[in-house]
């Protein structure tokens, strides 16, 4: 799903990347907002997922058209009903309660703190994209109007504490810009793929799968939140090193460890862009991303996912399933290889990657989920 495809684009802009960037911005806005008022993290996470799902079936609607439809309550209700019908086959396996929350999200008021944070992040991410479009179309049709509308849309959210701080402190903008650069890095960069996936888009897919798997195992709210944001940030260090494929990392003894150490050192510069009280979480999401942990007295303690499920599946322990996120990461890699293969690109690397991932999960149950059975479903659908 491409964006701004009626304008000259200096770079390719995809919906998945925009939604990923939006969710990173929403994380920042929510962290800044919770200094002053409680934030419902699950509403923000699920709101982002629901909006992405809706956008997948409304991709042909220009934003201007969608905004006009939203002003007519009856038409917008009909549009959402149609969108849900289109998505039903994909989301109903998540259960009746998940589907109810999806429908309720688009029926409820846009004035809640969670929705306003998501909307503010949406418009900020769109403004970030427009900065590229504007330079490539200096005298283009509607450019002046889009510029004015973008400014007005962003200004509507200046009552949100985080938006004020974004305007005041360049370091927050620098972090958003740094994360945005992951749009430019392609996954499997040495192998042609169809469709292409950026590192940023991949991170959102890992986050969403981690969250959905967490729902499936009955994870508490804090566990779902931590699993989602670990997925969303787990490859952030690659903005400093690029997406180095596994064969290159394994080509020289100790190279993977050397790269990891370099990432740790360079991430110290990234932490300087963020508030000190965020550092522990970002380190958990990026340096120790695949460890299973709980928190006792504010410090992470390693536990197995089975132990977490039995004894620590409570918000008070702030649990996180690194193994589940790792599995989601590899499922996403499998899907990237599988879809390219299905689309007619028969690179040797894709077949090898699929077989290696499938073999690595044979006989393994992670956090109660049989990933071998999940991966076998792709064989059934292809046959």
Domain residue spans of the chain: 15-168, 199-382
pLDDT digits (tens, 9 = 90+) for 110-125: 889 999 999 999 999 9
pLDDT digits (tens, 9 = 90+) for 60-100: 677 778 778 888 889 989 999 999 999 999 999 999 999 99
**Nearest to 189, CA basis, from 247, 149, 255, 256:** 247
How far apart are alpha carbons 319 and 307 in whole angstroms?
Answer: 10
End-to-end CA distance of the chain: 27
Q: Among residues of the chain, what percentage have pLDDT more than 90?
A: 60
Integer CA distances (angstroms), 314 to 175, 223, 224, in order: 31, 8, 11
Query: Can you say whether residue 6 is alpha, beta or left, with left for phi > 0 and alpha for psi between -120 and 50 degrees?
Result: alpha
Dihedral, CA of residue 83, residue 86, residue 89 and residue 95, to nearest 10:
10
**Which CATH number describes the domain made up of 199-382?**
1.10.3210.10
pTM of the entire predicted model: 0.92
Cβ-count burial 198-229 (b if 16+ within 10 Å, e if not): bbbbbbbbbbbbbbbbbeebebbebbbbbbbb
Q: Please give the Cα distance from 142 to 148 (Å, whole number).
A: 10
Q: Each residue of 173-202: pLDDT tens digit? A: 999 999 999 999 988 877 777 788 899 999
Residues 6 or more apart whose CB falls under 8 angstroms from that of 162 comprise: 28, 29, 30, 31, 32, 33, 117, 120
Q: How far apart are CA 315 and CA 120, in angstroms?
A: 27
Q: Is 1 exposed, middle or buried (0-12, 13-18, 19+ CB in 10 A)?
A: middle
Mean pLDDT computed over every residue of the chain: 89
């Amino acid at each position: 799903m491409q964006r701004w495809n009626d304008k000259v684009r200096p770079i390719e802009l995809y919906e998945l990347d925009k939604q990923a960037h939006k969710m990173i911005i929403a994380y920042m806005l929510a962290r800044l907002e919770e200094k002053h008022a409680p934030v419902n993290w699950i509403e923000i996470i699920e709101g982002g997922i629901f909006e992405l799902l809706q956008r997948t079936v409304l991709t042909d609607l220009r934003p201007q058209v969608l905004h006009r439809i939203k002003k007519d309550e009856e038409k917008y209700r009909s549009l959402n009903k149609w969108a849900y019908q289109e998505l039903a086959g994909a989301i109903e396996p998540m259960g009746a309660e998940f589907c109810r929350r999806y429908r309720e999200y688009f029926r409820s008021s846009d004035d809640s703190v969670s929705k306003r944070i998501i909307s503010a992040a949406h418009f900020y991410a769109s403004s970030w994209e427009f900065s590229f479009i504007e330079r490539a179309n200096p005298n283009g049709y509607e450019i002046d109007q889009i510029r004015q509308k973008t400014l007005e849309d962003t200004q509507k959210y200046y009552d949100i504490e985080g938006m004020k701080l974004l305007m005041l402190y360049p370091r927050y903008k620098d972090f958003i810009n740094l994360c945005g650069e992951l749009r430019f890095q392609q996954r499997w960069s040495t192998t042609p793929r169809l469709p292409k996936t950026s590192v940023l888009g991949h991170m959102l897919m890992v986050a969403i799968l981690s969250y959905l798997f967490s729902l499936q195992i009955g994870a508490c709210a804090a566990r779902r939140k931590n699993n989602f944001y670990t997925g969303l940030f787990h490859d952030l260090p690659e903005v400093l090193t690029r997406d180095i494929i596994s064969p290159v990392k394994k080509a020289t003894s100790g190279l993977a460890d050397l790269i990891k150490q370099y990432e740790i050192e360079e991430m110290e510069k990234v932490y300087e862009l963020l508030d000190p009280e965020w550092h522990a979480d970002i380190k958990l999401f990026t340096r120790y991303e695949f460890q299973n942990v709980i928190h006792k007295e504010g410090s992470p303690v390693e536990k197995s996912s089975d132990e977490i499920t039995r004894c620590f599946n409570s918000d008070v322990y702030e649990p996180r399933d690194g193994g589940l996120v790792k599995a989601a990461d590899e499922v996403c890699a499998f899907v990237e290889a599988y879809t390219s293969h299905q689309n007619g690109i028969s690179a040797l690397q894709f077949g090898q990657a699929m077989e290696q991932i499938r073999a690595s999960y044979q006989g393994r149950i992670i956090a109660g989920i049989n990933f071998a059975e999940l991966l076998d479903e792709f064989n059934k659908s292809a046959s």
